[in-house]
Structure formats: C-alpha cells, structure tokens
Amino acid sequence: MEVAYEYTKRRSEFGRECKFSNGETQILGSILPTNAYDIDYIQRNPVSTLVDTTPNYSETEVNTERVVMKSTSMHHIEGGWPKDVDFTEQSDVKRFRKKVEKDDDFQYAMKSLVPRVQRCMKQNNTVNIYEEYFEGVEADHCAEPPFAKGLAVFRDPSKVNRTVTSVNWHPEGSSNGKIAVSYSVLTFQDERLGNPDMSASSYIWDITNSNKPVVELVPTSPLCCLRYNPKSSDTLVGGSYNGTISYYDLRKNPTGKCHPSDCSVVEKSHHDPVADIFWISSKTGHQCVSTSTDGQMLWWDTRKLEEPIDSLMLATDVKGGGGMTLGGSSLEYNIEAGPTKFLVGTEQGIVMSLNMRNKKTNNGITVFDTGPGKHLGPIFSIQRNPTHSKYFMTVGDWTARIWTEDLKTPIITTKYHKSYLTGGCWSPTRAGVFYVTRSDGVMDVWDISHTQNEVAYSHKVSDAALSSISIDGTTQGGGKLVAVGDANGTVSMLEVCDSLAVPQLNEKSAVNAMLERETKRERIFEVREREVKRAKAQEEERKRREEKEAEGESNDKDAEAMRQLEEEFFRLTKDDVVSN
C-alpha cells in the first residue's frame, strides 16, 4: 500500500526575506599577525566552509495492521451439575439435591458459608455504593453565569438614518426565520423629515440573510408600528406617522416591493402618529385596534378601512365629563387575560385598563395610580406576564414597574437606572425574567425570581440609543433569540444562554407566590394608609368639635356677664328713681 504525505509550511515560518545588494567594502575587524598566532596555529590552504540554515526533517512510514471487527454472542446456561444429572429434568435435580443435603460435608459447608453471606448482604443493605444521591434533583437556580452572543446585524438600507420603531416576529418564530421591522423618525420637526433621500419603506428580513431584506413594504407614510396577523401570517397591519392604518397582503407580492392592499382615510384616522396596534380576537380574524397620542383608541376591520368600526376616548372620567384626555403611548392585548380587556400606557405616565364588556355601563375604564405610583414620563412599553396574565409590566422614565389588576399601585419597582429606559418585554419562557432597553445602548436583564434588587445581566448592544425589543417565544426559538433595534436603524440579533431562557424548577409557582406576597404587602400598606387618613380626619374633627364647644362655653360666659350687668344697671337706676 502506497503511503504519501505532503509537507506544508506557512509563510510566517519562513523568516524574513533575504535581500542582497552591492555595497562598498567595509573592514569590520582586523587581526594583526603576531608571533603568538604563528606558534599556536597552522595555516590551512585552501579553506572550505559549508553553511546550511535549512532545518533537518525526517520521515517515518508506519503501516498498521487492519483490525477486523465482528459481532459475536454468548449463550449462558446453568452449570456446575455432574455429568449424570440433567438439569432440565426436575426429577433428577430434586433427587441430586436431596442426596447432597443429606451429606455431612454439605452441612458443615453451609454453616461456614452462611455467616459470610449474611455479613455481605447486611453491608449491601446498609450502604449502596451505586446509589445516585442527587438523581432527579435540579438546582433552584442555574449556576451558569448569564451571557448573550451576537448572531447577526440587520442595517437599514435607507441613506438617511431612521429609528427602528418596532420589531415583530413571524407567528411561526425562528422556524420561519422572518421578522418585520418598521422604520420612522419620531422626533418632532426633525431635519431628516425634509430630506428627499429619506425612505418611507419598512422591511421584512430573513434572519439567515442579513445582506438584503426579503420584502419591502412601501406605505404612504413611514410606519411607527407593524404586526403580523397571528391567524394569517401572510397579512400584516401597520400604523403610520400621519395616523393612518395600512393593510398588507404578502400573497399578492411575496418578494420585492409590496404596496398596501388597503389604507384608512386621513380624515377618519388618528391625528397623531400611531403609537401601537394589535390584532384582536374575532370570528373573521380581520379586526385590529390602534392607539395614538391624540387620546383615541380605534377599532378597525381590515376588509374595510374607510372608517373605524368603533372608537373610545382615553379620558379619566368620560361619564362625568370632568376628566382629562390622556394620550396613548403603548398598548397591550392578550387573549388569555380576556378577549375584551386592554391595557394602555399613556404619555402622562398613567396606566389605564379597559374592559369593553362594561363599556355601556360604566365606560369600562379603570385608571391606576395618578400619584407617586405613576411614571414620571411616557410609558414606552406595557406587557402582561405570559405565565400569570393578571400581572403586567410598564417601562418608562428610569424604572420598570410591575402591577396587578387587583390594586391601583405598583407592587414592584426596580431601582432607577443610570439612563433613560426606552422599552422592555417579558421573557416568553421564564416567568420571572424581563428585558429592558436603555438610551445608552445597553440591554438589562432582570431575574426577579432570583433577586429583585440588582440587574442579573447587562449587555452592550450598540453605541446608539436602543428603541425596541422583541423575543421569539415559539417552541423552536425557546426564548433564546432576542431582536433589539436602535436609533440608527440597526437590528441586532442576540442569542441568550440557557440560564436566561430555560425555565427553572418550580419557577412558575415560585414567581406566582412572590407576586402574591408583594400584592398582599401592598394591600396592607393601602389599608394602613387609609387607617392613618381616617385617624387624621377623626383627629381634625375632634379638634373642630372641641373648638366649637369651647367657643360655645365662652359665648355662655359672655351672656351671663351681660345679664349680670343688665341686672346691676336696672337695680341702680331703680334706686335712683326711688331716692328722687
């Protein structure tokens, strides 16, 4: 068998290239002949010297013998019987055993062997050297330090930098491999709005190809929000900067440019940019709801977008007529919480809960804390917990707050971050993990099931301010793929570790118990606050009553003094008349 081996050597191992050139002769050293050299050395003529700088190599050939593998089997049968005894015959076996048991040597052998066997059996029963002590026991918290790695970067093809206003995963998640990204400039009177090179298009990207978008959505006005239809993944709905609603059907143009199939009328749409939009539960699967900073919530049927099918003003007291209108900055809809329930985050930092089932009776609007519990700025994100839909999170100013539908005040408030928060979302797989994005380009991950005081992990995503975040919550994604958009139009695809995505042992029940405990504590604080207010009011009423009683006593004393003076006056005047 011929064996060949090719020697290769890297260029970096050759050393520096030798460059030879002609030059003037220079004497570097000179040894003058002396008598001492003549005595110790003998001149040799001619002199030949061989210099070789090439390293020596050796070659060895080894031919090993081929090992032939084959499958064999072994058949075990009962042995130890004499030749004249057939162990398959029960009668021969019983006869042989009776013969052996009658022998005296057998009895002596059993007496000596039984104690040894008993001692070994007791030892085996005492300690099982093959026992798995921690088999089936999982750690309460993963010991792996949290981390995230970047997978891809999707850059806006527009010549003018635009902000990534929303990122929405395909309903099939990473198995389909597509994300819908909307781009717009939300700054009021920004110079870029008048630039003719600024594009109004939004794009659908394939997560396996970050070089070119798959579909270009061409709206009449830049999109501020964009969502897939969960019942029909070939249709999308988006809200534009001019307040209109656009409906897209990818079946008409699956690749290339896709223009809106239908668009709402400007006169009957929102008067401000559409803050958020959601598909809602309906028999036809064509209805959606949108909100805007103009203080309106509008319900639409994408089959007929000439006018909304229903509307509602976001006012604190619509029935009484004395409330103020709040501008919607974020929207949340989760069918698990109820097909008619909505959550709205406002520009004023106030949370509003809507139940359209009670719209005719009491307007169906519940306003949460408008005092110390509200945010100090607009609420950029509001989302229900995927596992416990009764609880929801809001992100605004420098904090993220967790609320419950049973109370009007937040039950958990994170510490103030170093920079302004711009968005956030819950982890779809872990009940106690949520993500927040900051204006300094950092993404923070909180794990409230482990600690509520410190951030579990911080990751520097971009030098620009982060604007939106979305996580693949499908079974294929497993909550590991995170898409983060920034103000320069770049979407960064990250993959988080198992400790941030894989559910821990009994995490759902532990998080639920923790949230219930915080709810109970907040309820106790509310009861205590009411008691303090009631005691204060009673004390003020008591002081007011005492003041009235003291004032009444002083009036009685004054009246008695006046009566005595009058009697004295009449007595004196009577005496004067009598004397005269």
Looking up residue 354, the CATH number of its domain turns out to be 2.130.10.10
CB 381 within 8 A of CB 485: no
How confident is the model at residue 575, as a pLDDT?
64
How confident is the model at residue 577, as a pLDDT?
56
How confident is the model at residue 4, as a pLDDT?
64
CB 179 within 8 A of CB 167: yes
Report helix, strand or coil for 135: coil
215 and 276 share a domain? yes
CB 425 within 8 A of CB 434: yes
Does 265 fall in a domain? yes
How confident is the model at residue 342, as a pLDDT?
93
Domains: count for the chain: 2
Does 52 fall in a domain? no
453 and 578 share a domain? no
Does 560 fall in a domain? yes
Does 46 fall in a domain? no
445-465 in b/e burial notation, b at 16+ Cβ within 10 A?
bbbbbbebeebbbebebbebb
404 and 309 share a domain? yes
How confident is the model at residue 437, as a pLDDT?
95
Does 54 fall in a domain? no
Domain boundary among 498, 526, 541: 498
How confident is the model at residue 1, as a pLDDT?
47
207 and 338 share a domain? yes
Tokens 């008993």 identify what position? 118
183 and 316 share a domain? yes
CA nearest to 485, candidates 464, 456, 454 = 464
440 and 460 share a domain? yes
DSSP percent split of the chain into helix, strand, coil, nearest 5: 25, 25, 50
516 and 375 share a domain? no
Q: Tell me the residue range of the domain where 542 lies.
A: 505-580
- What separation in angstroms does the CA of 344 have from each of 368, 382, 428? 11, 7, 20
Domain boundary among 476, 498, 520: 498
The whole-angstrom separation of Cα 439 and Cα 491 is 15
261 and 387 share a domain? yes
How confident is the model at residue 31, as a pLDDT?
64
Does 105 fall in a domain? no
How confident is the model at residue 333, as a pLDDT?
93
Does 347 fall in a domain? yes
Does 132 fall in a domain? no
460 and 524 share a domain? no
**Residue ranges of the chain with pLDDT lower than 70?**
1-5, 7, 11, 30-39, 134-143, 318-322, 360-363, 574-580
Domain boundary among 498, 518, 550: 498
487 and 372 share a domain? yes
